Chain A
Amino acid sequence: KAGVTQTPRYLIKTRGQQVTLSCSPISGHRSVSWYQQTPGQGLQFLFEYFSETQRNKGNFPGRFSGRQFSNSRSEMNVSTLELGDSALYLCASSLAASGGQETQYFGPGTRLLVL
C-alpha cells in the first residue's frame, strides 16, 4: 500500500495570507490527525478527523481549521498567517477500526515558512 502523502511539501507565504495543506491517508484508513512540529514546541496535536467529523481538537487558535472528505482525504487551513506559524505540519492516518488506539502512520510533512 502507498503510504501517507502530503502536498505541497514546501510552501512560502507572507504574514496575513492563508494556506491550505492536503493529506491523503493510507488506503482504508479512516482517521487523520494533524500535528505541528517546531524546534521549540516539539510535536503538538492540532486536530483529528474521523468519518468527515472533527473528533478531537488541540489547543490552537481558531485560525487553524480542517476538514475531511468522504474518501478520508483531509485538508487543514491556516488563515491570517503569523510568523510563528512557520513549522513542519505533519498528518498521520490510522485504521480506526477497533475503537481503541491504533498505530498512527505519518506523512512526510509540509514545511511552511511564513515571511
Chain B
Amino acid sequence: GENVEQHPSTLSVQEGDSAVIKCTYSDSASNYFPWYKQELGKRPQLIIDIRSNVGEKKDQRIAVTLNKTAKHFSLHITETQPEDSAVYFCAASRGSSNTGKLIFGQGTTLQVKP
C-alpha cells in the first residue's frame, strides 16, 4: 500500500547548524513530494516541493533532494534559526489521476536552540 516513513521524529539543533529530515515512500508511482511546516496551533504551510523529473531544488536556506531509484527524499535546512522550530511533514502523491491525495509522513519536531 501507500506509505511514507519519516525520520527522525524529533530533531534538536543549535542555531546556525544544519538540519536534515529524511523520508522514504513505498508507491513507485509517486511523482510529487511536498514539504509542509506546521507551527503550534497553526495550519500546515508548504515550504518547498519537488517533482520526479528534478533531483534537487533550493529556495534560500531550504533544499530538497530526491532519489527516485531508492525512493528517498530529504529536506535540508541550513543556518537554522529559532523561527524554524516547528513540525515538518513530508508527503508523496501520484499526481495526475490522484491529484488531491497526499500521503504524509509522521512528522519531525524540529527544535532550534538559540
Write the residues of chain A forming the contact surface with B, with a CB cutoff of 8 angstroms.
4, 31-33, 35, 42-45, 48-50, 55-56, 58, 90, 92, 94, 96, 99-109
Contact = CB atoms under 8 A, between A and B. Distances in A.
Contact of A94 (B45, B94, B100, B106): B100
A50 B96 contact: no
Interface of B: 31-32, 34, 36, 42-46, 49, 51, 89, 91, 93-96, 98-107
A108 B32 contact: no
A33 B104 CA distance: 13
Question: Chain A binding site: helix, strand, loop or mixed by DSSP?
Answer: strand
A56 B100 contact: yes
Nearest to B32: A101
Given A42-B104, A42-B107, A101 B45 contact: no
Given A90-B43, A90-B44, A101-B31, A43 B98 contact: no
Contact of A96 (B44, B100, B101): B100
A106 B99 contact: no
A108 B104 contact: no
10 contacts: A33-B102, A42-B89, A43-B89, A48-B99, A48-B101, A55-B100, A101-B31, A101-B96, A104-B102, A106-B44
A56 B101 contact: yes
Given A56-B98, A94-B99, A101 B42 contact: no
A43 B104 contact: yes
A33 B46 contact: no
Q: Max chain A CB contacts within 10 Å: which of B43, B45, B91, B93?
A: B43
Contacts of B104: 35, 42-45
B103 A45 contact: yes
Given A31-B99, A101-B96, A42 B46 contact: no
Contacts of B107: 42-43
Contacts of A101: 31-32, 51, 93-96, 99
